[in-house]
Structure 1
Amino acid sequence: MQTAPASAIASDATPSSPVAGAQLPTDAPSAAVAGAGASPESERVPARQHETPYADAIRSLAGEDWQRLHVPGHQGSAANAPGVARLVGADALTIDFPMLFSGVDQETWRLTTPGRVTPLMRAQELAAEAWGASRTWFLTNGASGGNHVATTAVRALGTEVVVQRSVHSSVIDGITHVGLTPHFVTGHVDTGLGSAHGVTAEQVAEVLAEHPESAAVYIVTPSYFGAVADVAAISRVAHDHGVPLIVDESWGSHFGLHPQLPVNAARLGADLVVSSTHKAVGSLTQSAMLHLGHGPFAEALAPLVDRVVRSHQSTSCSSLLLASLDEARKNIVTRPELVEQALASAEDIRARVRADRRFRDATPDILASPDAITNDPFKVAIDTRGAGITGSDAHYQLLRDHRIYAELSTPSALLLLIGAVSPVNVDRFWDALQSLPEAEIEPERPIVLPAPCERALGLGEAFFSATEMVPFEQAIGRVSADSLAAYPPGVPNVLPGERLSAEVVAFLRTTAAAPSGYVRGAADPELATFRVVA
């Protein structure tokens, strides 16, 4: 793997506005990187972005008449695994080659290729160019794996970290496993909608001042509901304190790839960015990217991150997942009309909601969050308060009766996620939404988000302690050994070492009982029992 050529990233300066999306560098000397109102010349996609070097190499391999005497066990034949072939298609089996295949990603390719760059390395270079990074790694264990890489890298810098409280549970898992001490920054929580948003630069500065030994700042933006934090300002705060900024941008993998989208974190000063490419850009589930930013903090992280990626990444990476990253990058970069069509369909839904008597567009609530400087236009939040139906019931009935699968619901809201390259059949959704029954009496809405629990032990101390399972009634007041997160969005509601409150126990049990509910980390899926420190 190599960093993107200097010519591809030289114009990636920090934009003045994080609202307007950055543009790819072009082959023209007048290329503009960021900001609304970019010239037509700057909007031209470089010819190289139409390439899919890794995907092409895999397809080329599949076109040869191989006698395959290697893993995987189906050895490229649908006849050997007919059930698997029915799941993914016979063609998928033919391109399911193992890692370290000479000519694709193994070093021996360098003997025949000018410039000594493998197709996989070239694919990662193109991704780095597209996202304005200095280097990009493809990941096949999801953004969760990227968060484990990032937390491991932080541990090499020190034992303390400033971290947003509403990070994904994989960040908490990583912090716990490597023995970091987190100093939490508690962001804004909309208790009405049931959404946790982000943090401000002022909040980060305050916690850094209280804990000057911290080795990094770790935030998540955009939030699950689409609130976008001021990454540029938070980056300046972190760098002024002499530490790197790591951003979990899982829900913003599409940022910076179209002028109507917010700028992505790598272009705004973040040093390491976790990107869940499958979520909005359309690669296969479990595929992701890790982007390295620019400047001295990113440069210092680069060799360490490279080593950690190697230690965390499977030695049997899926060629299908890797190739899907290559193809998804090309698709979103070279077909802006798809993004525009998807944006139009999202706005059509919002406009209909704004004009409706029952439902309300919750976008103003999200933008009112003190941390939000803009929002992700592909997240459509529909407030169901006053609509005679809870968001949870709307979610379930849309799924059961109309085969419409929304991303998330809370008792107060229904959240839609529209893929950045996937325009929606708006009429189908709208007809289904309008057909939902309306109760004569506004339904009772249970608690949406519980208050944080009191800390009693450190994360690692609790996680590695002897444990016991107790009935939920007896768990109240006991110290949790698990990180428990209502899923989605996967933000932990209780952490190892925190005392379980009656409120959080009730919330998690209600979540687990809901038709679409799931609590990540629970030893008992129904939460009749909880795992606590013995």
Structure 2
Amino acid sequence: MDKILPGRAPVYEMLEQYRVKGNISYHVPGHKNGEAYRGSDTAGFLNEVMRYDVTEITGTDDLHHPEGVIREAQELAADCFGAEESFFLVGGSTAGNLALILTVCPEPGMTLILQRNVHKSVIHGLMLAGVRAVFIEPQIDPLSGLAVAPAAEAVQAALAAYPEAAAVLVTMPNYYGMGSDLAPLARACHTSGVPLLVDEAHGAHYGQHPALPAGALMCGADGVVQSTHKMLPALTMGAMLHVQGPWLDRTLLRQRLAMVQSSSPSYPVMASLDLARRLVHSQGAGAFTAGLAAVDVLRRGLATLPRYGLLQPAVPLQGACGGAGAAAAASTPPQGMAAYSTQDPFKAVIYDAAGVLGGFELQRRLEEKGMVPEMSDDRHVVLAFSLGSKAEDTQRLLAALREIAGETSGGTVNLSEGTARQGASLECLHNGPAEVHVQASVKYSTWNNFTNDLISTPVLFSMKPVNPVETQRVPLEYSAGRTAAEMVIPYPPGIPLLYPGEWISEDICSRLINLRQGGAKFQACADPALQHIQVYNNKKGGDA
């Protein structure tokens, strides 16, 4: 592309032209631009969508060999998000995570260094690639007890212990919008000659406004996956993979993307990626003005509602990687503040500071009043704002929070056992030392998952199925000390607390019980109510 034109949306414009031409379809898809439903109301709003639902024909280009409008759209995306090359993903960030892992670990038995609390798509990537995973501990914010990302020192130590490692993979920001400076991690990786891969699913908007944290690419990451549908206005499943630098084999990456993505990608999804990019690219920081104003209304409103706390770093350090913010972080105490130095303003994480309502119960009550949060754990409720949020909607949210505070002010609300324990943990959180803060609250997070080892021994993952003969079903309460024979994934956020072959610690068993009693939903396990769990027989076991 000779000249960058931010106001263009090549894929979207092509679809508009396709509809206007009104050509007769003798190609798939079978709904024939919606004609299959003519005279019937059964398709509803989808009838309009079908008029734009095309396939790879003359003029529409091909995602897996882009030469026309898709190529131009991806080049525009690279310019907008600061990449050397960008790829559209129609299977969400899952497709990008899988492709990156299969690229850096092209042969079974290769080593990858990563934090344990990763999205299930990363665990699936380890299985598909047959990876030897070395897990490193993330840093913990002592006030919230939530894990952020590993320290650069931990990354350096892991790379020194396992010099054969192919790459390092971290998640930033976490599902609560918490983050830290990735630049030291990128430098540690490049010094050792390996790429830094970042699951930035919740940070597609990063770096696009001064109030937002810097993005992973700005910090030196080599491969970055972003869910454009999460925090920018693309359709669900629309995501992007951005790359830069010499550390990734891009030819192999393209082949891996073709493996994990459909050969018949959704053009409406790709058009929505094009439109989301155009909005940010052409409007710049102004695109976020209304959304940030809505967040400001919430902050000012919560200041008048002491019943609720708002998660935020002790010293907010938004801004460029390695700049003034990083220098300020260096002057703060090494334990805690460096772990959590940036907060996405669009992720408002609230909790009941009085300890009366746990996160699951607070979410339930908000939903009863028409307010639907992104997710919750036993303590927190995550409210996801975006550039599409409105101040008037925030006023309704504040009114709902006031009503809930009034309804539960006497403390006579019928609390679940898990919620009651939540109140006890909050007392520790407010009154105890930093060590107690962490121990009290990590038990209640669906995001945290780690051991006490700074660097784990390698764990071999494979596609070998679990043999039912080697397993048994036991009550969850009696599973501590056994070896899991299935994945257990609280969703959201989709972080596996257990994978097949992983030892079930007392802490994990206790946390699963607390999450079950608090109302968490689980994926991948045979018993979604988690009354029972599949474990290996005492004399049996298997690879992960």
CA distance in 1, matches of 2:341, 2:315: 10
SS at match of 1:427: helix
Change in CA separation of 1:463 and 1:499 when aligned onto 2, cut-off 3 Å: farther
What is residue 264 of structure 1 aligned with on the other side?
215
2:513 counterpart of 1:524: no
What is residue 196 of structure 2 aligned with on the other side?
245
Residue pair 2:313, 2:343 contacting (<8 A) in 1 also: no
Measure how far apart 1:459 and its partner are: 4.7
Measure how far apart 1:532 and its partner are: 2.6
Residue by residue over 1:117-143, the C-alpha shift from the partner in whole angstroms, topping out at 9 and shown as x without a partner, is 400110011001000101111011110
What is residue 18 of structure 2 aligned with on the other side?
61
SS at match of 1:50: coil
Matches within 5 A, 1:18-33: none
Measure how far apart 1:275 and its partner are: 0.6
Measure how far apart 1:502 and its partner are: 4.5
Q: Give the stretch that moved more between structures: 487-496 or 219-228.
A: 487-496
What is residue 410 of structure 2 aligned with on the other side?
440
Overall identity of the aligned pairs, in %: 29
Measure how far apart 1:522 and its partner are: 1.6
Change in CA separation of 1:413 and 1:485 when aligned onto 2, cut-off 3 Å: same
Letter in 1 for 2:275: E
1:370 to 310, 322, 338: 338
TM-score, normalising length from structure 2?
Answer: 0.81
Change in CA separation of 1:489 and 1:250 when aligned onto 2, cut-off 3 Å: same
What is residue 142 of structure 1 aligned with on the other side?
92
Which of structures 1 and 2 has the larger relative contact order (alpha carbons within 8 angstroms, sep 6+)? 2
Change in CA separation of 1:366 and 1:486 when aligned onto 2, cut-off 3 Å: farther
What is residue 24 of structure 1 aligned with on the other side?
none
Measure how far apart 1:421 and its partner are: 3.6
Residue pair 1:456, 1:499 contacting (<8 A) in 2 also: no
What is residue 353 of structure 1 aligned with on the other side?
302
Measure how far apart 1:57 and its partner are: 0.6
What is residue 277 of structure 2 aligned with on the other side?
329
CA distance in 1, matches of 2:18, 2:286: 32
Residue by residue over 1:445-482, the C-alpha shift from the partner in whole angstroms, topping out at 9 and shown as x without a partner, is 35414764699994536963413350324533321133
What is residue 344 of structure 1 aligned with on the other side?
293
What is residue 497 of structure 1 aligned with on the other side?
501
Change in CA separation of 1:463 and 1:366 when aligned onto 2, cut-off 3 Å: farther
2:69 to 119, 131, 155: 119
What is residue 74 of structure 1 aligned with on the other side?
31
Measure how far apart 1:211 and its partner are: 1.3
1:103 to 59, 73, 84: 59
1:296 to 225, 237, 246: 246
Matches within 5 A, 1:135-174: 135-156=85-106, 159-174=110-125
1:470 to 458, 461, 473: 473
2:383 counterpart of 1:416: yes
Change in CA separation of 1:245 and 1:53 when aligned onto 2, cut-off 3 Å: same
Q: How many residues align?
A: 477
CA distance in 2, matches of 1:195, 1:459: 27
Residue pair 2:95, 2:260 contacting (<8 A) in 1 also: yes
Matches within 5 A, 1:307-326: 307-326=255-274
Measure how far apart 1:386 and its partner are: 1.1
Letter in 2 for 1:413: H
Gaps spanning 5+ residues in structure 1: where? 9-47, 110-115
What is residue 9 of structure 2 aligned with on the other side?
52
Q: Give the stretch that moved more between structures: 228-237 or 453-462.
A: 453-462
Residue pair 2:373, 2:383 contacting (<8 A) in 1 also: yes
Gaps spanning 5+ residues in structure 2: where? 317-335, 413-418, 423-442, 538-544
Residue pair 2:114, 2:134 contacting (<8 A) in 1 also: yes
Residue pair 2:90, 2:239 contacting (<8 A) in 1 also: yes
Residue pair 1:227, 1:366 contacting (<8 A) in 2 also: no
Change in CA separation of 1:83 and 1:231 when aligned onto 2, cut-off 3 Å: farther
Letter in 2 for 1:341: A
Measure how far apart 1:78 and its partner are: 5.5
